[in-house]
Amino acid sequence: MATKEFKRAARIILVGAPGVGKGTQAERLMKRFPQLSALSSGDLLRNAVRNKTPLGLEAESHMKAGSLVPDDMILRLILTELKAKSWVPSSTSLSDASQTLPSDAPSASFILDGFPRTSIQARKLDALIPINLVVSLVTPVNIILGRIANRWVHAPSGRVYNTGFNKPKVEGKDDVTGEPLTKREDDGEETWRVRLKKFQETSEPLLEHYEKKGVLWRVEGNSSDEISPKLFGEFEKRFC
Ligand code: AP5
Ligand code: MG
């Protein structure tokens, strides 16, 4: 399929319960629109944990317990990554980020998966990069729970598989590198329920924040296959 030109930069956030398919939809959007890139806060944190960085060591217990890592920690991590990708100027600091939107918004098009998650994080991000579409993904909780047990991941890249729906070509192996797939440490049912509760507490003020800005779009479906075509359609309407 030919690459479609964007008429303006797409700066998108995916918001949804743990396991709703944020990572899955981000991968599909990038396949459909190759000029998009994606950043997952969960993948960044898991890399930091695996590499035993000071931040990773601090974040690990929060993640294992299913709670959110502190706002200042995730903000530091994200800002470093935004600078590395040149999506914000290298001189940007969190303390001098004001409430005025930057006039030199980046021309890059990207998806943020899992960040921001609290209204504090959202306000900080507003001052760094103006987001122009917030996708709220909604799927019934009982359906999501069934999927988590079947989820396998390629930890170094964050690629996600599911033995029931999106099988790897070779059992237990990543399609691209052939490396082994693993389970996420926070995917037990009990921890997932804690993550879900946390999501329910924090998402309402977060979504309200973006609703007021007029950039919120909600999409509902029982499966990612139901959601993807709607998401592609909305994306094309807004950016192509
Ligand atoms: P994070 O990694 O962001 O986890 P999450 O939000 O809990 O979401 P998941 O990654 O579990 O799910 P997903 O929506 O990406 O679903 P997926 O596509 O994999 O965060 C982890 C932790 O990091 C947090 O708990 C927190 O501690 C910390 N953290 C991260 N960001 C933070 C922040 N901003 N502030 C503070 N702390 C932060 O899909 C799920 C499964 O379903 C897969 O197996 C998939 O293949 C399958 N699937 C998808 N579609 C279908 C379908 N149609 N049918 C069947 N199966 C399907
Ligand atoms: Mg994910």
pLDDT digits (tens, 9 = 90+) for 86-129: 888 888 888 765 545 554 566 889 999 999 999 999 999 998 88
pTM of this prediction? 0.91
Please choose, from the candidates 153, 192, 191, the residue with its C-alpha nearest in 3D space to the C-alpha of residue 50: 153
For residue 40, tell me if it sits in a domain. yes
For residue 216, tell me if it sits in a domain. yes
The rounded distance, in Å, linking the Cα atoms of 75 and 220 is 29
Say whether 76 counts as a known binding-site residue. Answer: no
Per-residue model confidence as pLDDT tens digits over 51-99: 999 999 999 999 999 999 999 999 999 999 999 998 888 888 887 655 4
For residue 3, tell me if it sits in a domain. no
Residues 6+ apart with CB under 8 A from 107: 9
Per-residue pLDDT band at 165 (split at 50, 70, 90) = confident
For residue 2, tell me if it sits in a domain. no
For residue 1, tell me if it sits in a domain. no
For residue 42, tell me if it sits in a domain. yes
Query: Cα-atom radius of gyration of the chain, to the nearest Å?
Result: 17
The mean of the pLDDT values for the chain is 92
CATH number at 214 reads: 3.40.50.300
Q: From the CA of 18, which ligand is nearest? A: 1
The rounded distance, in Å, linking the Cα atoms of 97 and 201 is 26
**Is 18 touching ligand 1 by the criterion CB < 6 Å?**
yes
For residue 157, tell me if it sits in a domain. yes
Q: From the CA of 223, which ligand is nearest? A: 1
For residue 4, tell me if it sits in a domain. no
Q: Give me the number of domains the chain comprises.
A: 1
Question: How far away, in angstroms, is 96 Cα from ligand 2 center?
Answer: 30
Domain that holds residue 104: 11-239
